[in-house]
Amino acid sequence: MKRKALISGITGQDGSYLAEFLLARGYEVYGILRRASTFNTVRLDHLLFDGQREKDIGIFLRYGDMIDSSNLNRLLEQIQPDEIYNLAAQSHVQVSFEVPEYTAEVDGVGVLRILDGIKEIGLRTKFYQASTSELFGQAKAPQNETTLFYPRSPYAVAKLYAHWIVRNYREAYNLFACNGILFNHESPRRGESFVTRKVSRGIAHILTKKQDYIYMGNLEAIRDWGYAPEYVEFIWKMLQTPQPEDLVMGTGESHTVKELIEEAFSYVGLDWQKYVKIDPKYFRLTEVDELIADSAKARKVLGWNPKIRFKELVKIMVDADMRAVGLQPIGEGDRILKQKFPDRWWGRD
């Protein structure tokens, strides 16, 4: 019998890649889709709209919302999933300052709703919570599982509540529940308002004369950027271990936002200083200066290491966004994917 996986946030970057990953391993994949007036399934369209029925594809979408506990409980009872991946979130840090209560409800209390549903139903399942490096905030880098948290935004504070409620329910009710503290991970499916995609997409639009400048905030912020399609394998591996535990994952390689911009513009032969302007509105109210992962424990426990590094990631994303606007990509990013992942699913945009 096929294993059943339930993914909240299936329409997001990580959710769509995870759905592909699990389908390739023979799972039945159920996804929670938040009701809206328009469909937001663009990252899944290559799976959904090929003329096949749900049961033939192996992916099933169900309406739900992280602020509706009765709905979540009903889905848990109906699906009886073997594994639950909670990737749903209001995930934009800057936006969390504008909608702090909503962020707390979805990112924090929403996790409690699922965990309490698992407990009350008596469901024998494994639960993964998408935690975040933003928990560390101003803590000294590099950060690992023993680093003290210092959240610096409503988003990070909500995620901290989620992190601790997972640990609490694991210890109090003996649930298989764990937190994956993932550092920044990007791809061509990253939301357009996030800094990496803002740069790669902005370059494509500059090349096609659709915009003149990219407006940025703090160029000195230091981050640990990895390739999202790889990270979903790490997520899956966390639920295949005998005992649940919380793990940090990143590349351990750090770069500033300025380096990201320099690398991307250099790749297409442009001088970034002619096209990048600083706008104070893109500075955070409380900055997070440096996030770098120390993933020694996770690498030992799971035997997993990321293959794509920073410069390669930048090329992959710029190539994809050039292709998206009808330009011939430089091609180096495509070559890297074919070389490092021959005949693998995660070479897709």
Domains of the chain: 4-186+227-249 (3.40.50.720), 195-224+253-291+307-347 (3.90.25.10)
Please tell me the distance from the alpha carbon of residue 67 to that of residue 282, in angstroms, as a whole number: 29
Please tell me the distance from the alpha carbon of residue 69 to that of residue 152, in angstroms, as a whole number: 28
Tokens 């592909």: give the residue.
20
Please tell me the distance from the alpha carbon of residue 33 to that of residue 19, in angstroms, as a whole number: 13
* pLDDT tens-digit map of 256-292: 999 999 999 999 999 999 999 999 999 999 999 999 9
How large is the average pLDDT for residues 91-117?
Answer: 97
Percent of the chain with pLDDT over 70: 95
pLDDT at 168: 98
Q: Do 155 and 93 form a contact (C-beta atoms < 8 A)?
A: yes
Q: Do 118 and 76 form a contact (C-beta atoms < 8 A)?
A: yes
- Predicted TM-score (pTM) of the model is 0.95
| Residue 129 confidence (pLDDT) above 80 | yes
* pLDDT tens-digit map of 216-266: 999 999 999 999 999 999 999 999 999 999 999 999 999 999 999 999 999
Give residue 41's pLDDT band: very low, low, confident or very high (50, 70, 90). confident
* pLDDT tens-digit map of 48-89: 765 555 667 789 999 999 999 999 999 999 999 999 999 999
Q: Which residues participate in catalysis according to the annotation?
A: 132, 134, 155
* pLDDT tens-digit map of 298-327: 999 999 889 999 999 999 999 999 999 999
| Number of C-beta neighbours around residue 277 at 10 A | 10
Work out the mean pLDDT of the chain and round it to a whole number: 94
| Residue 34 confidence (pLDDT) above 90 | no
Does 100 sit behind a cis peptide bond, omega within 30 degrees of 0 on the bond before it?
Answer: no
